[in-house]
A and B are shown apart, each in its own frame.
With several copies, the nearest count.
Chain A
Amino acid sequence: MSNKVYQTADDALFDIRDGAVIMLGGFGLCGIPENAISALLKKGTKNLTCISNNAGVDDFGIGLLLKTRQVKKMISSYVGENDEFERQLLSGELEVELIPQGTLATRCLASGYGLPAVFLPAGVGTEVADGKETRVFGDKTYLLEYAFDADYALVKAWKGDKYGNLIFRGTARNFNPMMAMAGKITIAEVEHLVEPGELDPNEIHTPGIYVHRIFQGNGYEKRIEQRTVRPRT
């Protein structure tokens, strides 16, 4: 089979150029493509447009790419936990487009399912609706929202096989499956890269047809943003 397996993140991201539009999976710091972000950092690719639900924190996730000024524009639903982000936004160095979380997810789904646009209710009557086409179905108003057009999707899965089949774990699934479907080139990093046949075909979340490159990540930090526990009694 034409080989989808790359040895390192650097290899897998070899052709991402300045100005690329990149989707990054993850919700907060959960399920983010840690190795791909490190590779982008190392590469120094600039003027990136990043489609990602969040923008990481100051010293982790997409926050690292903000610090090095590699990001031109963020398309996100929530970008709160990041001082450097705030500084660049207020100074006008960084462009930000805020869109509702479900709209973000569904515009990714639309790309992966070949739907050019979808009608979504989120944001009707708000500033999110500015300049958008509306349409009434039944007694409800919807906005016409377009499928994303991203050059790359960088996703992170728990397990994957050499044909690109992916299984996510827990809530680290979040945006990863839709972005995997949506990227023109989808690069998946996995905690465990296995041989074809080791994953149950019934349990695969993202079929390999959507995944163009895959590599085994390493050194996963899997940082927890809000460690909340209850005492053992």
Chain B
Amino acid sequence: MLDKFGIAKRIAQELKDGYYVNLGIGIPTLVANYIPKNIYVTLQSENGLLGMGPFPFEGDEDADIINAGKQTVTTLPGSSFFDSAMSFGMIRAGKVDLTVLGAMEVAENGDIANWKIPGKMVKGMGGAMDLVAAAKNIIVAMQHTNKAGESKLLPACTLPITGLRCVKKIVTELAVIEVLPNGGGFKLLERAPGVSVEHIRKATAGKLTVPDDVPEMLIH
């Protein structure tokens, strides 16, 4: 079983040299800490920054340089600033190679729900709907089950949808799961260290294809 850092580490293995990547708030943000040393990845922050650097040193915070989570960040050599129209323009045009997001629920057809719980205060979708509707490759980072122990990988979302048929892969504390195209359902790709296929099966409410051999993740 992985902790949130393990999930972030596993997702970092999906990164390729030259990728432009948008990381959502929460576990996705942690992915930045585990980018393999031998590749160069450019982080896009949808409020208008390409080439997001680490948090500033204490005292160097600049109110004019923040990320989409409103945290103070820094630039790197080769960074660029732009306006929100261009930012979502490049997302819609498929220029961002990978988007990593959290989710409340993912359906076996790739639908995602991550913005609203009926009855609770609605804070808004921010850029989530734009990202899921437009990104060409979306990986979801989340827990396999919710606090009540119910699966978050479902036959269909029960919460209000953020976007349709968009999630390509899910990394949880238990497994790496592919969302097969054309409604093919979930497919188990890797088990977390020490987690059995049976455990993952039980925690997955949606249709799950399990190949004969499911390797254990390699987390460096």
Which residues of chain B come closer than 8 Å to A101, judged between CB atoms?
46, 84, 88, 125-127, 130
C-alpha spacing A227/B69, complex, angstroms: 11
User: Would A170 and B50 count as touching, CB distance under 8 A?
Assistant: no
Q: Is A154 an interface residue (CB 8 A)?
A: no
User: Would B96 and A100 count as touching, CB distance under 8 A?
Assistant: no
Which residues of chain B come closer than 8 Å to A76, judged between CB atoms?
124
Interface centre among A76, A100, A161, by most chain B C-beta atoms within 10 angstroms, is A100
Interface residues of B in 48-96 (CB under 8 A from A): 48-51, 54-67, 69-73, 75-96
Q: How many residues of A contact B (CB 8 A)?
A: 79
C-alpha spacing A181/B133, complex, angstroms: 19
- Also in contact, A122 and B61, with CB within 8 A (given A27-B84, A101-B46, A178-B83): no
- Also in contact, A228 and B95, with CB within 8 A (given A30-B64, A162-B78, A202-B81): no
What mask results when residues 206 to 233 of chain A are scored 1 for a CB within 8 Å of chain B, else 0? 0111100000000000111111111110
Taking a contact as CB atoms closer than 8 A, the residue among A2, A86, A112 that contacts B17 in the complex is A2
Q: Is A152 an interface residue (CB 8 A)?
A: no
User: Would A177 and B124 count as touching, CB distance under 8 A?
Assistant: no
- Also in contact, A121 and B133, with CB within 8 A (given A101-B126, A229-B61): yes
Q: How many residues of B contact A (CB 8 A)?
A: 73
C-alpha spacing A173/B49, complex, angstroms: 10
User: Would A169 and B162 count as touching, CB distance under 8 A?
Assistant: no
**Segment from A12-20, A63-71, A124-132 that makes contact with B:** A124-132
Q: From residue B88, how far is it (CB to closest CB) to chain A in Å?
A: 3
- Also in contact, A174 and B47, with CB within 8 A (given A101-B126, A122-B133): yes
Which residues of chain A come closer than 8 Å to B63, judged between CB atoms?
29-30, 172, 222-224
User: Would B160 and A27 count as touching, CB distance under 8 A?
Assistant: no
Which residues of chain A come closer than 8 Å to B148, judged between CB atoms?
none
**Segment from B1-9, B37-45, B170-178 that makes contact with A:** B37-45
User: Would A207 and B62 count as touching, CB distance under 8 A?
Assistant: no
* 11 CB < 8 A contacts A-B: A30-B47, A100-B133, A101-B46, A105-B88, A113-B89, A128-B129, A163-B51, A196-B78, A197-B76, A209-B95, A226-B70
Other CB < 8 Å A-B pairs besides A30-B70, A171-B81, 8 of them? A2-B40, A86-B121, A113-B92, A113-B93, A171-B67, A209-B50, A228-B61, A230-B54
Query: A interface vs B, CB < 8 Å?
Result: 1-2, 27-31, 53, 76-80, 86, 89-90, 98, 100-106, 108-109, 111-115, 120-128, 158, 161-163, 165, 168-178, 181, 195-197, 201-202, 204-205, 207-210, 222-232
Query: B interface vs A, CB < 8 Å?
Result: 17-18, 20, 39-40, 42, 44-51, 54-67, 69-73, 75-96, 111, 121-130, 133-134, 160-164
